[in-house]
Amino acid sequence: MDSDGFKGLLRAVGLLSERQLDQLSIAVDARRSATKSTRVIETARHGKCPTCGAERIVRNGHARGMQRYLCRGCGGTFNTTTGTALNGLHHKGRLFSFGQCMAEGLSVRDTAQTLGVAVSTAHRLRHRFLDTLVQHQPKALAGLVELDETYFRESFKGSRKMPRDARGRGSSNRPTKGPSPDLIAVLVARSRGSLFVGDAVLGSMSKDNVVQALRSMVGPDTLLVADGSGTIKSAAAELGVALEALPAHAGRTRGAYHIQTVNQYHERLKTWINRELRGVATANLPKYLAWLRTFEWYRNHPSPEIYLVSALGTQLINT
């Protein structure tokens, strides 16, 4: 809009009725959200070609409100979302509002109502955003790191076919004691005195699974504190990591060594998954673990921009 048109719009505001002002306010908020989405996306990534990595790129027009670029190296064209979880999405102006819904932890149905989209669309958007967050684990944690596992019942929530009979209504969600093929192990590593959290859905607590989960998280300066599990002892020995084991008969504490921090995290995790979310499918459990990590990292106050930037592949947590 040119200057004269904008001045005319401002003059017309004084002639609007109360209902028209409400409608204008809604339209302004929607437009502001759309421009915020574009601004965050356009400024979040460095100017490199996603195909060849060359930095010799130039502007090459616009398409659907997004700046396009031309690579002088390979001749390809792209925009900022090319090769990311946000690629191919229509109505990118809604993404900032969706990031706000993620930051508030809204349900899929509440998100759909807020955005004015179908529930299935809100569900697909959520998993697009979370797919990238799953990869944002801590690297080579230093210092004292508490390690312990917890268990969830295997869930086929949302699946059209199940390899077992459905559980009866009212059956307990609390895992039974002892080994069971119905229990899924989740290993959590929490750095003492910091916000670093790493996790992995193992399925079973085997040494190979634990080693694979911890290999990128621990380093030579890591001191693991865990219970007296033989599996964790064997995994720590294979990784060459120092381990302070706390046997059950000692009350799982020895001076400054304990696993209370990670156990408290387990409690928050299970309350959120089992009570607030009413359970999630085992196949999607890593994504919801990643979602909770963002809340922990930002002390329950993540901003909408966090989710947009993370979906573009930039790691903002556990750094």
Work out whether strand 66-71 and strand 57-63 pair parallel, antiparallel, or are unpaired.
antiparallel
What would the mean pLDDT of 249-257 be, rounded to a whole number?
75
Kindly give, in sequence order, each residue whose CB lies less than 8 Å from that of residue 20, ignoring residues fewer than 6 positions away.
Answer: none
pLDDT at 319 over 60: yes
pLDDT at 35 over 60: yes
Beta bridge partner(s), residue 243: 224
Residue 195 and residue 297 in contact, taking contact as beta carbons nearer than 8 Å: yes
Distance, in Å, from the CA atom of 101 to the CA atom of 115, rounded to the nearest integer, reads 9
Task: Read off the pLDDT of residues 166-202 as tens digits, 9 standing for 90 and up.
Answer: 776 655 555 555 556 789 999 999 999 889 999 999 9
Mean pLDDT of the chain: 89
Residue 232 and residue 210 in contact, taking contact as beta carbons nearer than 8 Å: yes
268 band by pLDDT with thresholds 50, 70 and 90? very high
Task: Read off the pLDDT of residues 127-160 as tens digits, 9 standing for 90 and up.
Answer: 999 999 999 999 988 899 999 999 999 999 888 8
DSSP the chain: --HHHHHHHHHHHTT--HHHHHHHHHHHHHHHHHHHHHHHHHHHS-S--TTT----EEEEEEETTEEEEEETTT--EEETTTTSTTTT-S-GGGHHHHHHHHHHT--HHHHHHHHT--HHHHHHHHHHHHHHHTT----SEEEEEEEEEEEEE---TT-S--SSPPPPTT---SPPSS--TTEEEEEEEEETTS--EEEEEEES--HHHHHHHHTTTEEEEEEEEEES-HHHHHHHHHHT-EEEEE-GGGTTEETTEE-HHHHHHHHHHHIIIIIIS----GGGHHHHHHHHHHHHHTTT---HHHHHHHHTT---S--
Structural domains in the chain plus CATH codes: 141-159+178-301 (3.30.420.10)
> What's residue 25's pLDDT?
87
pLDDT at 228 over 80: yes
Work out whether strand 242-246 and strand 183-191 pair parallel, antiparallel, or are unpaired.
unpaired
> What's residue 179's pLDDT?
56
